[in-house]
Amino acid sequence: MRRALGTMLALAAAVAAACAEQLTAPTECPDFCPGGEIEVVDAILRDVVVDDSAFRGYIGPHEGGLLLVASLPSIESRAITRTNTIATTYQFGSDTTRNPIVGVDSVRLQLIMRPDTQPLRNFRLHLYRVPKTIDSSTTYADVAPSFADSLVRSVSLDSLLALPEQEDTVLDANIRRDSVTGDYVRIDTTLRRLILNLKLDSAQVPYVEADSGRLGLGVRVTADSVASTALGSVRSGSGMAVTWYLQVDSLQLDTVPRSQVAGTRFDTFVFDPPPPPLDSTLAVGGMPVARSLLRFALPPAIRDSAQIVRATLVLVPDQAPQGVPADSFVVAARRVLSDLGAKAPLAQPFFPGDSSHVGTAWVRIGSTDTVRIGVTQMLRLWAADTTLPAAIMLQQSTAPNAIIEGSSLVEIRFRPSSDTAFRPALQLTYVPRFQFGVP
């Protein structure tokens, strides 16, 4: 009997082990197809945004990586900088005598700029002396007198960029040099920046021993129509740099040239008029940076019982953003990790290439076109994990592949959820639950 039982178990095991196969076939529906059909629904959900708020103050002018300088009908913005001090005495070799600085041969001022100024006609950069007391509380009005009467130099960037390119063996780079003024410009295509180097004399930038060579400088731009650019700031490691070519007294016998580089101690930009106060619209960008929070309530029938194949957030601008074409920017819809209002932490990608944390769309200057942001993966994630907060923070960015805020003066405002005609909406393409088992 035991042997018989073993025999049967062996047979059963053999049967179980061999059950494996794969299936596929051509067909002609509906004659040779199972009942039911995979349906697709495309719908615009206009009442899914149940709450929204706009907040300002995420990044101030002195906190960003760029100094925004512009002369637009809507805004005038100027950069102001305070440089570091320099050593006021020199020691030569092992001599312990401190030799004072007795004069300045020249000064070179280096500015790093956004490289997209070429389309602007007669684009000029103006350098001013401003008080050395500037700080984050300095306003446009505080320095307006300096910009009225303390012009140091004006330089035509158009003219400089029109010069033939020549190789500079010292810099080991191709530059465009103005042999009269000594100014030159170099385009760094690798880092996508324009490096402007201005030569100044001691009359334009006097050395003041009491200030240890500290300078206060301001920059504004003009063009035939509108002008807008961005300078590197000390936060991004590309702030203004001053190279002093000094004369040092050597034992009361003669003077010898020495150079010192002074970086930026503090920089910011001031603008007028200040941004309008937040209202019911959804402000994004501008300065100080604004963000808008949208809270969603997806219909349970879609969130729980359908699969979303495409989702688009539809936003209607309240008015066209103003600026120059180069000011076009990205509006990013970031997934909120935890809905803490203005301080909500925002999601990061789970892996390289993950788009479940953000959707983006370009916004062109002067356009009132509806902004459509793809948020498919975000919505699919919400459907897969219903514990996640269904909220999106709208941010501005000047880079398509990264969220870089505070790099544009341009602000866009979208119609809010209280606007019944043009409220934010979701356009969803989804597949309702398939009904199995129905021949």
Partner 1 sequence: MRTGMLLAAALLGASPPARLPAQDSQFGIAGLGTPERGESVRARATAGAFGLFDPLSPMADAAVVAIQRLTASASSATSYRTVELGDESAELRTTRFPALTVGGPVFGRVRAAGGFSAYLGRSYRIETRDSVVLRGEVEPYTDEIASDGGVTDLRVAAAFHLTPRLAIGGSLHLLTGSTRATATRRFDDSLTYQPAAYVDELRYEGLGGSASLLLDVGRGLHVAAYLRSDTRLEFRGSGTSGAYDLPISVGGGALWRPSDRVALAAAAHQRTWSAAGLNAHDTFEWSVGAEIGRPSLPFRLGVRRGRVPFGPGAEAPTELGIAAGLGFRFSGGRGIVDIGVERLEREGGGLTERVWTALVGITVRP
Under the criterion CB under 8 A, does residue 27 sit at the interface with partner 1? yes
Instruction: Please state, in angstroms and rounded to a whole number, the distance separating the CA atoms of residues 270 and 285.
Output: 16
Interface residue with partner 1 among 34, 145, 276, 345 (CB under 8 A) is 34
Residues 105-144, mask of contacts with partner 1 (x by CB under 8 A): ----------------------------------------
Please, which residues have CB within 8 angstroms of residue 16's CB and are 6 or more apart in sequence?
A: none
Which tokens sit at 214?
A: 């500290």
Choose among 370, 347, 350, 374: nearest CA to 360.
Answer: 374
Q: Which stretch binds partner 1 (CB under 8 A): 56-64, 192-200, 302-310, 344-352?
A: 302-310
Does 40 bind partner 1 (CB under 8 A)? Our answer is yes
Report the SS3 class of residue 196. strand
Shorter beta-carbon distance to partner 1: residue 351 or 436: 436
Nearer to partner 1, 13 or 162 (CB): 13
- CA–CA distance, 106 with 112 (Å, rounded to integer): 20
320 binds partner 1 (CB under 8 A): no
> CA–CA separation, 421 vs 314, rounded Å?
13
Residue 118 burial by CB count (10 A; 0-12/13-18/19+): exposed, middle or buried? middle
CA 285/CA 406 separation, integer angstroms:
7
CB of 372 to partner 1, least distance (A): 10
**What is d(CA 145, CA 151) in angstroms, rounded to the nearest whole number?**
11
Among positions 87, 163, 309, 403, the unique one binding partner 1 when judged by CB under 8 A: 309
**E strand segments, 286-369:** 290-296, 306-315, 329-335, 358-363
Residue 298 near residue 391, CB atoms below 8 Å: no
If one asks whether residue 310 binds partner 1 (CB under 8 A), the answer comes out as yes
Phi-psi sector, 353: left (phi>0), alpha (psi -120 to 50), beta? left
Nearer to partner 1, 19 or 170 (CB): 19
x/- mask, partner 1, residues 371-400, rule CB under 8 A, reads: ---x-xx--x--------------------
- The residue (of 26 and 164) whose beta carbon lies closer to partner 1 is 26
Binding test (CB under 8 A) with partner 1, winner from 18, 180, 203, 253: 18
- Minimum CB separation from partner 1 for residue 329, in Å? 23
Of 415, 407, 399, which is closest to residue 58 (Cα–Cα)?
Answer: 407
Minimum Å gap between C-beta 321 and partner 1 is 26
Tell me how far apart the alpha carbons of residues 293 and 291 are, in angstroms, rounded to a whole number.
7
> Which residue among 7, 74, 122, 259 contacts partner 1 (CB under 8 A)?
7
The interface region with partner 1, picked from 11-19, 191-199, 273-281, 314-322 by CB under 8 A, is 11-19
Q: Which lies closer to partner 1 via its Cβ, residue 196 or residue 428?
A: 428
Residue number with CB closer to partner 1 (107 or 388): 388
Peptide bond into 317 cis (omega under 30): no
Cα angle 148, 159, 328 (rounded to 5 degrees) comes to: 75
Q: Which of 88, 202, 243, 427 binds partner 1 (CB under 8 A)?
A: 427
Report the amino acid identity of residue 348: Q
Taking the least distance from each CB to partner 1, the nearer of 22 and 96 is 22
- Given CA atoms 427, 395, 365, 140 in this order, what sign does their dihedral have? positive
Structural tokens at position 105: 């041969």
Which residue, 271 or 430, has its beta carbon nearer to partner 1?
430
List the beta bridge partners of residue 216. Answer: 82
What's the alpha-carbon Rg for the chain, to the nearest Å?
32
| Segment interacting with partner 1, rule: CB under 8 A, options 18-26, 190-198, 274-282, 295-303 | 18-26
Stretch that binds partner 1, among 27-35, 196-204, 248-256, 385-393 (CB under 8 A): 27-35
Nearer to partner 1, 28 or 149 (CB): 28
Given the rule CB under 8 A, which residues bind partner 1? 3-4, 7-8, 10-15, 17-36, 38, 40, 42, 305, 307-310, 374, 376-377, 380, 427, 429-431, 433-439
